[in-house]
Amino acid sequence: MSIHCKLAILITVLTLENHVHSGKIVGGHEAVPHSRPYMVLLERHMSNGQIKYCGGFLLNEDFVMTAAHCQAKNYTISLGVHNIHGSNEIQRISVEQAFPHQHFNGTSFVNDVMLLKLTSKAKFSGNVKAIPLAGRIDGALPKSCLVPGWGRTDRNSKYISPKLMEVNVTLIDNEACFLENFYCSQGETGPAEGDSGGPLVCEDGKAFGVVSSAVTPHSGGPDIYRYSKIPDSRDWILWTMRNAMITM
Ligand SMILES: *[C@@H]1O[C@H](CO)[C@@H](O)[C@H](O)[C@H]1NC(C)=O
Ligand SMILES: *[C@@H]1O[C@H](CO)[C@@H](O)[C@H](O)[C@H]1NC(C)=O
Ligand SMILES: *[C@@H]1O[C@H](CO)[C@@H](O)[C@H](O)[C@H]1NC(C)=O
């Protein structure tokens, strides 16, 4: 597929943040409480004083991974959350430093990954655990994937979902996605606004991707949801975490 054709397909890029319209989760269901102990609710303090939300996931006791387009002035993360209105045993930790990918492209959303270093270590428990990252893969698409998140469950809703939801997705073989290092799924069901930055969880419960953005195909048809590929970012992730610890 030529570059020209690729750009035609990417006629609309909709970010899955909570202020841009996008698809909605249809066919999603409430997650079993605390069955996704790596899930992070990311509160973004914007420079205009507003608060917006993204998802994220815990890599170890010092670092959370999310999407680069979830950048904000500063952040508070919550761990051990199922219902955002519940308060029992939720850990709230602020962020010491954010590391958006140096080559994040805000137009194409290539390299839409960011690491957040916490000001104090996360305390692991039954409800708070890290997720392993997918290693290098042989090119075959991972099977049985799902996306958890507190994103909106309804296009008309103004609010994020109070309870953690999740939706199964099937990855598609799409050349435009492949060329930009995304995994993609397509259909009426998928992540929605507020789900950005959350994990694409596949085989063996490992994180294979980061929820990034949706594109509306030029040719019509349902939206294509894009997830930044973790196997392609692995070296950057490990390098960034190591450097951040050394320079402390
Ligand atoms: C974010 O920055 C603002 C302004 O500097 C400050 O008032 C606020 O306390 C900070 N929030 C967090 C969670 O650090
Ligand atoms: C970012 O992506 C756009 C659209 O694909 C492209 O035109 C532009 O050159 C890219 N910018 C950089 C700095 O790579
Ligand atoms: C989602 O996927 C899981 C694991 O592959 C499966 O057990 C479950 O039945 C699926 N749920 C739905 C609603 O399709």
Mean pLDDT on 53-73: 96
Integer CA distances (angstroms), 96 to 39, 74, 118, 185, 200, in order: 19, 9, 5, 34, 25
Question: What pLDDT digit, counting tens, does each position of 183-240 carry?
Answer: 999 987 777 777 899 999 999 999 999 999 988 887 778 889 999 999 999 999 999 9
Asked whether the whole model's pTM tops 0.85, one would answer yes
Confidence of residue 32 (pLDDT cuts 50, 70, 90): very high
Q: Distance between the two ends of the chain, CA-based, in angstroms?
A: 45
Domain 145-231 has CATH 2.40.10.10: yes
Mutate to test the pocket of ligand 1, among 48, 74, 117, 118 (most ligand atoms within 8 A of CB): 74
In angstroms, the CA 114 to CA 240 distance is: 10
Confidence of residue 14 (pLDDT cuts 50, 70, 90): low
Q: What architecture is domain 3-18+37-130+233-246?
A: Beta Barrel (2.40)
pLDDT the model gives residue 152: 76
Helices (H) and strands (E) in the chain, counts: 3, 14
The answer to whether the beta carbons of residues 81 and 89 sit under 8 Å apart is: no
pLDDT the model gives residue 3: 35
Selecting among 62, 112, 195, 223, the annotated active-site residue is 112
Residue ranges, CATH 2.40.10.10, the chain: 3-18+37-130+233-246, 145-231
> Which residues, judged by CB distance below 6 Å to any ligand atom, belong to the binding site of ligand 3?
144, 168
pLDDT the model gives residue 156: 63
In angstroms, the CA 235 to CA 103 distance is: 14
Residue 22 has pLDDT above 60, yes or no: no
Mutate to test the pocket of ligand 1, among 43, 44, 45, 97 (most ligand atoms within 8 A of CB): 45
